[in-house]
Amino acid sequence: MNLPAASNPITRTNLTRQAMFGGAFIDAQGREIAITESMIQRACHDLARHYVAAQKKA
């Protein structure tokens, strides 16, 4: 659901540096924060760094 721009502030710094991919989340203060490519890359990097393979069953 899209609200009028006046009541739906998007983090401008994220949008000016990178294109928005169509996703956003709402922060604790109720602001819509665009999900950027760098956010996704950082999350993937963190997952890869902390990945632990499952133990094989005997």
- At 8 the pLDDT is 46
- At 16 the pLDDT is 53
Whether the pTM exceeds 0.75: the reply is no
- At 31 the pLDDT is 94
Cα distance between residue 25 and residue 31, in whole Å = 8
Average pLDDT over residues 46-51: 93
Whether 46 shows a pLDDT value over 70: the answer reads: yes
Instruction: Note the pLDDT tens digit of each residue in 6-37.
Output: 444 555 555 555 555 578 999 999 999 999 88
Handedness of CA 27, 33, 46, 54 (dihedral sign): positive
